[in-house]
Structure 1
Amino acid sequence: MDYKILLISTYRELTEKVKKIAEDLGVDIDVFEGGILKNGVHYAKSVEANYDVIISQGGTAAAIKDIASIPVIEIEISVADLISAIYKAREYHSKMYMVVYNNKSVESLKKLKSYLNLDLTIFAYTNREELESQFNNRPQNESITLLGMGSCIEDLKSDNNTQAIIIKSTDESIKEAITIAKNIVDLNKREKEKTERLKAILDYSDEGIIALDTNNIITTFNPYAEKILKVDSKSILNRGISDFSDNTTMSALYGEGKIAYNMLLKIEDTQYIINRVAIIVDNEQVGLVITFKAVSQLQSLERKVRHKLYSSAFYAKYRFENIKGSSHAIHQCIKKAKKFAETDSTILIYGETGTGKELFAQSVHNYSNRRNESFVAINCAALPGTLL
């Protein structure tokens, strides 16, 4: 399966780890290196139409979630990962500054700072200007350690008195994020296939189909319903059935939502076979499906089936156009036969053997009002004279 997954990476090591783990999982992932401060969020938004899911970390993931219309999976940073980075930072300098995106995680970090009694200042930002302003306004000439989830903290290092520690996710967290992304893609593709199958059923069904949700909003109006009712689905969909109370046909089809099976109903000048079936989920009705088909359509189909089944013995294949002849006599015979074909009377055709009696019989049948019915030829020569 083709997995369209994008990683917005916040540092080089994360890129390499994700590529390696993704390869082990049999997943191809496109990568853009750059977090919030390096156009990662803007890039994600600009290309999201090309992907099924985006993976990122920390504040970058949070910022992308705020603007993206596709799923965004965050590579988790556990408390253990965070504490491990903090203790590593304290090996350099006791004074620490943590760079984080300004969201709900800030309050959790403040609590952690209090619990561990840390000499830690939190720089919460939403853009580069905010971060640089806070960093430049700190006491100067002090030895500090910067902590953050991306390579942006490397850019803030101004001298040898500043150390930078990137808070890193474990391989397990990376694998979990990729697996979740993979599962989302699989699920979305299955749902898309299901949707396409349903669309094909609706589009090529030979009966009208209308579906309503629990609020009686029309959610489905298939092409055959458009054809039968001579109305565009765009003017019907997402509107309440009550909007069409003045429409005789729609009101009759809805029938106040009463359940019905193979109900014969005359609407204006047309007879319909109608079904109304409740959509039940967890023993609760959440909608209604209405199917309908003109009786004349069923009759036409029945005739076609009958003709197909009995085409060899009960089908008249000849028409007047098949009778060859240019004489005045033959033209008069055809003219008279056409006139007789328009009546409901029994017609006797007589003539010598080989003169074309059966041609005329079949032609009369195909010219008559019974042209859509079966044509049954009986060989009278095979019947006893007494029976005749």
Structure 2
Amino acid sequence: MTERKTKICLISPTENLAKRARALITRQGMNIRVEVADLESAVSLAKRLSEQDDYLFISRRGTRDLLCKSLNIHVVNIPSEASDYIPAIQQLRNEQGLIAFFSFEEEISNELRTICYLLNLRMRHYCFSDSLSCQSAVRRAIADGAVWGLGGVVSERFAKMYGLPYIRVESSDASILHALETAMQLYTAQQENARQQEQLQIQLERYQNILDYTHDAIIAVDETGRISVTNQIAEQMLRPARPPFAGRLIEDVLANTQLTSVLKSGEAEIGQMMNIHGTLVSTNRVPIRVGGKIKGVVATFQDIKTLQKAERNIRIKLHEKGLIAKYCFSDILGHSPAIVEAKRLSEKYADSNLTVMLYGETGTGKEMFAQSIHNASPRRNGPFVAINCTALNRNLLESELFGYADSSFTGARKGGKAGLFETAHGGTIFLDEIGELPLEFQAPLLRVLQEKEVRRVGDDTVIPVDIRVVAATNRNLLQLVEAGKFRMDLYYRLNVLSVVVPPLRNREEDYQEIAGRIYDRLMPERSKEEEQAFFNILRRCQDYPWPGNVRELNNLVERVSLLLHQGVPEKEAFQAFYNEWQKEEIPSPEEKQIETAGAIIDREAVLAALRRNGGNASRTAKELGISRSTLYRRLK
């Protein structure tokens, strides 16, 4: 079967960026198209591709904003980081004259301004919105005495025209890769949601056919007990009485139907047996309520023999699971008190419909806990929809979460599209990295959690949803609340039941059991020498703090098992990653003075910093102003 080509296109303003993007795409095994186009040509290119198919585009800020404005489409941004400017700034660090920074409709970061200030570089920012304003900006910079210009490809063209020395700032590979991965995740989510919607539509059509061609006899009576509706099967059942039946008292046409008793009691009677003209039938009698008052009763009748035959030959699929949670609590390995307590609480909470908040560092397995809670809950047969709040583009977040109505914006799918909350109806929705959710989307989320209903973008209709929410974060939400970055009411709505997923360093010998299971999966066929060498290496990791937690452990197992399988000696295999652990700069004199003076950073402070940096040891050590070896000692 031919694999369907991914409809994602990266529009690059330069050949250099395009070349590096293609290399990253090839290395990652992605299927993404790359085109080179200047600012004006990008619009016609995107328009042409959009007319051919439903494309998702990636580009840098200037091109992205122009595409969004001109075509009213969503475009994944290749983020501009201060680090992108470092190579250019290094070239100009001894420059005494004015340096002009050009950018498309955005301010340069305070971080970049600080770097220039610390290096004593005179800089001035010039912003533009199109080619004409860019030309004016370059001329203004020259008039201000600029001796160098920095920026993108648009301002480079005018800098060359007016003889201003210029250095083009290129996006880093990390920024390009981040945009590629975001686009792939978003495209996959869109395609999966489209598939689910198609399945749902097929299912609804199936149900409609069942209703249109049912073999059940259906009779409805009004509040006085007079027949209001019958179908053809019911009219056959009512014989030898003669039609018309509408308007006649049900008891005059068919005795002992008990419809009048349901009118009085207001209680439904399901699966009742009765004999009609010598035929045993199963009947359901359900009251019709309008404004809290009984306005009639509808009844269905089915021949027992027909029902038994149908049960043997027809299986109506009532529920098509949207997305699958594959992990159960038995998949969470370990016997340390910390993990046992986390599992105990999670299993206890699984039976409830209340929101569960999972706290834990990056890589601790929070999604495994979320999936396990779902699979142990009464909702186990419903969909499990996982959303990473950092993976979705800010411009697309609202329409992806809540869906959108038909013609709500240019390019919107005909008939609209259900959001992920609707997709999760009847099941569980997992909000990963909830602490990263933009503030402007927190109020709509709070409303969904409180009211259990959603309103699609561009629509006034309210859609009720039956969902259970599990959320996760590696951040301190209370600190975010205090900093004004997270709503207090949303925090209390989420933090109903909480579970702390422990880091691997607090789980004693669990890492060996987990590593052993991963090793069995990766290398089912290995020699005894390989296995012995592997577990020898594993035992030597006993004092390692695992800042990347289970994810880092998985990486280590993959790496070591491959090296050993390729015949690398045990000592060399261990040294390969041991050297990486020990890579660090020599402690600075300031750090030595801090330790000598006894001003030691305590373990809790280190753990808090580690959480802020997502378990990244290098960034944590840099923030605290200590070396990585000192960081590891503080964690012991």
> TM-score scaled to structure 1, two decimals?
0.50
- Report 1 or 2 for greater relative contact order, CA contacts < 8 Å, sequence distance ≥ 6: 1
Based on CA coordinates, which of the two structures has the bigger radius of gyration? 1
